[in-house]
A and B are shown apart, each in its own frame.
Chain A
Amino acid sequence: DTAVSQTPKYLVTQMGNDKSIKCEQNLGHDTMYWYKQDSKKFLKIMFSYNNKELIINETVPNRFSPKSPDKAHLNLHINSLELGDSAVYFCASVGRGQETQYFGPGTRLLVL
C-alpha cells in the first residue's frame, strides 16, 4: 500500500562509518529525489533522478553517492559519515507532467 517507502527508518552509527539508505516508490513515477532536513527543519534538495538518470546534483560532498538501479528505486550511500550528516533524509517522487511530489516517511540518521 505504501506509496514511497524508505529503509531504515532510524539509523544510529559512528563517525567514519559507511551507510546506505534505500527508497522505493510504487506509484510508477519517473522522477525521484533525495532531500536533507536539518535540525532547524530546513528541507534542502540533494539529488534527483529521472528514469535512472541523474538530473539534479546540488552542492553535496562527494561522500554522498546516489544510485538508481531502476526508476522505482533510489538509494543513497554515504561514506565516512560525519557529525554534520545527522539529519532526516527524505525521498520523494513525482510523475511525469504532475505537480505533486510525494514524500517517503524519512530516515532519521544520527552520527555519534
Chain B
Amino acid sequence: GQNIDQPTEMTATEGAIVQINCTYQTSGFNGLFWYQQHAGEAPTFLSYNVLDGLEEKGRFSSFLSRSKGYSYLLLKELQMKDSASYLCAVRGDTGFQKLVFGTGTRLLVSP
C-alpha cells in the first residue's frame, strides 16, 4: 500500500523559516516531489529528490532520506505570497510517472 503523511496546517511569520515534513511508506520509490498550490489554482512544481540529501533552489530547499522514508521542504525568508498548500508526492517504481500525493500542508504566513 501507499501512505504519505504531512501535517495538515502550519503557521509562520513573515521573514521566518518553516520546515514542512513528509513521511512515506510506498511499495516502490523512484523520486519525491514537492508541489505548491495556491487556493483556487493548479499545483506547480517546486522540487524533486531521488537521491539522499539536500536540494537547494533559492529560498526553497528539499531534503530526502530514503532509508527513513522522510523528506522535508524548507522555506526561508517567508513572504506573504508563500501562503499556500504544499503537496508531497512520491513516484513509485512503475514506468509511467504515477505520483501518489499526500493530503497537503496548508501554510499560513502572517505579517
Interface positions of A (Cβ within 8 A of B):
31, 40-45, 48, 50, 55-56, 90, 94, 99-106
Closest to B87 in A: A43
- Complex CA gap A106/B37 in Å reads 12
**B50's closest neighbor in chain A, by CB?**
A99
The size class of the interface chain B forms with chain A is 20 to 34
The interface bits of chain B over 85-100 (1 if a CB of A lies within 8 angstroms of the residue's CB, else 0) are 1010000001011111
Instruction: Evaluate contact between A105 and B103: CB separation under 8 angstroms.
Output: no
- Chain B residues, CB < 8 A from A48: 96-98
How far, in whole Å, are A77 and B33 apart by their CA atoms in the complex?
29
B residues at A contact (CB < 8 Å): 31, 33, 37, 41-45, 48, 85, 87, 94, 96-101, 103-104, 106
- State whether B104 touches A56 (Cβ < 8 A): no
CB distance from B35 to the nearest CB of A (A): 8
Main secondary structure of the interface of A (DSSP, over half): strand
Given contacts A44-B101, A55-B96, contact A100 B45 (CB under 8 A): yes
- A42 x B104 contact (CB < 8 A): yes
Query: Can you report 26 A-B residue pairs in the complex whose CB atoms are below 8 A from each other?
Result: A31-B97, A41-B37, A41-B106, A42-B101, A42-B103, A43-B43, A43-B87, A45-B98, A45-B100, A48-B96, A48-B98, A50-B96, A56-B94, A56-B96, A90-B42, A94-B97, A99-B31, A99-B33, A100-B45, A100-B48, A101-B97, A103-B43, A103-B44, A104-B42, A105-B41, A106-B41
Partner of B103, one of A41, A55, A101, A106: A41
- Which 5 residue pairs of A and B lie closest in terms of their CB atoms, listed nearest first? A103-B42, A43-B101, A100-B45, A55-B96, A99-B48
A31 — which chain B residues lie within 8 A by C-beta? Answer: 96-97
Decide if B85 touches A106 in the complex (CB within 8 Å).
no
CA–CA, A64 to B107, complex, Å? 33
What residues on A are CB-neighbors of B41 within 8 Å? 105-106
Most buried by B among A40, A48, A100: A100
Q: Give the residue name and chain of the A residue nearest to B95 (CB).
A: A55
Residue of A nearest to B104 (CB): A41
